[in-house]
């Protein structure tokens, strides 16, 4: 598993992500539970994009000084391309999140908490998936062709499924929870579970978090191979992926009221996945 990343680069990346998440959490707690306005979401979205661009600029400068201009330009372009691809694919992800929250009537003041926990979970799961994928590709290079075929199939499926609303009633994860867990019909503040009559009951908030985690894993199966088509370097794949994920919460509130304006989006994403699949 070859990577451009050294100890200092990995350490700098981890430090930036931790600081960014801490600032986000502190400001969210300071503001208290509230409905996020379009203006607030817009500024946060711009901030996350600027942070990603600054990281890429810092990465380019460091590599230009240590590895040369050619390597710096190549890596900088790979990071930017991976970031943009992940950002574009995340839009479809957001609309599924919106559908889940609408289905469970998640209160506006609880949505930020759900999304921040979802983002933390997504970072952990995607890190595991990316490193596992990198190890497998380094051992079995022909897996890139499998990823390419999978992206072609996903693009084809997305094209013909465009305009069809997913039915949560038939969602396997939700059906499993309803069958094996005691689910309450109503929320209990911020709690994900409560004790009633000596038994543990789970609130709708818990079900929403599980569904969002499962949804993100499903979407990651599409998006991560797409970035592996751009580069197989785990440092670039992970950093571009994580910086795109960090902006999910702000993008959710930014696009929440505009879902009907993106009815052609699945066709565009299908073409992107198909093109990347052919390239692989």
pLDDT (0 to 100) of residue 167: 60
Please report the pLDDT score of residue 207 as a whole number.
87
Token look-up 């084809």 returns 156
Q: Position of tokens 């052919």?
A: 278
pLDDT of residue 162: 56
pLDDT tens for the chain, 280 residues long, are: 678 878 989 999 999 999 999 988 887 776 666 677 778 888 888 999 999 999 999 999 999 988 889 999 999 999 999 999 888 877 777 877 887 888 788 887 788 888 888 888 888 888 988 888 888 777 766 666 666 676 666 666 666 665 555 566 667 778 888 888 888 878 877 778 888 878 888 888 888 888 888 888 877 777 787 788 788 899 999 999 999 999 888 888 887 766 555 555 556 656 655 655 565 5
The Cα 202–Cα 188 span in angstroms is 9
> Is residue 216 within 8 Å of residue 122, measured between CB atoms?
yes
Asked if 279 contacts 105 with a C-beta cutoff of 8 angstroms, the reply is: no
Q: What is the pLDDT of residue 277?
A: 57
DSSP 8-state secondary structure symbol assigned to residue 164: P
pTM for the model stands at 0.81
Contact 246, 119 (CB under 8 A): yes
Nearest CA to 207 among 239, 243, 169, 235? 169
Q: Are 5 and 234 in contact (CB under 8 A)?
A: yes
* Cα dist from 114 to 33, 60, 90, 117, 252, whole Å: 12, 34, 17, 5, 12
The predicted pLDDT at position 75 comes to 92
247: helix, strand or coil: coil
């Amino acid at each position: 598993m070859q990577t451009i990343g050294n100890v200092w680069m990995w350490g700098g990346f981890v430090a930036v992500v931790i600081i960014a998440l801490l600032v986000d959490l502190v400001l969210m707690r300071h503001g208290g539970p509230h409905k996020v306005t379009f203006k607030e979401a817009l500024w946060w979205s711009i901030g996350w994009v600027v942070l990603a661009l600054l990281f890429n600029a810092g990465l380019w400068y460091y590599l230009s000084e240590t590895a040369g201009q050619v390597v710096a330009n190549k890596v900088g372009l790979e990071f930017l391309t991976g970031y943009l691809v992940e950002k574009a694919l995340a839009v479809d992800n957001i609309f599924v999140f919106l559908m889940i929250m609408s289905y469970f009537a998640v209160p506006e003041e609880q949505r930020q908490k759900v999304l921040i926990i979802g983002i933390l979970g997504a970072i952990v799961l995607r890190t595991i998936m990316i490193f596992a994928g990198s190890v497998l590709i380094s051992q079995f290079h022909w897996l890139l062709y499998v990823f390419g075929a999978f992206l072609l199939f996903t693009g084809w499926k997305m094209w013909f499924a465009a305009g069809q609303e997913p039915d949560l009633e038939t969602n396997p994860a939700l059906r499993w929870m309803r069958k094996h867990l005691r689910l309450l019909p109503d929320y209990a503040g911020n709690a994900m579970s409560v004790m009633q009559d000596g038994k543990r009951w789970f609130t709708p908030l818990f079900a929403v978090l599980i569904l969002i985690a499962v949804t993100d894993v499903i979407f990651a199966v599409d998006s991560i191979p797409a970035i592996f088509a751009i580069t197989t370097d785990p440092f670039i794949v992970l950093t571009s992926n994580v910086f795109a994920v960090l902006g999910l919460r702000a993008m959710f509130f930014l696009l929440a009221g505009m879902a009907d304006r993106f009815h052609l989006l699945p066709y565009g994403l299908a073409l992107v996945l198909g093109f990347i699949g052919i390239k692989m």
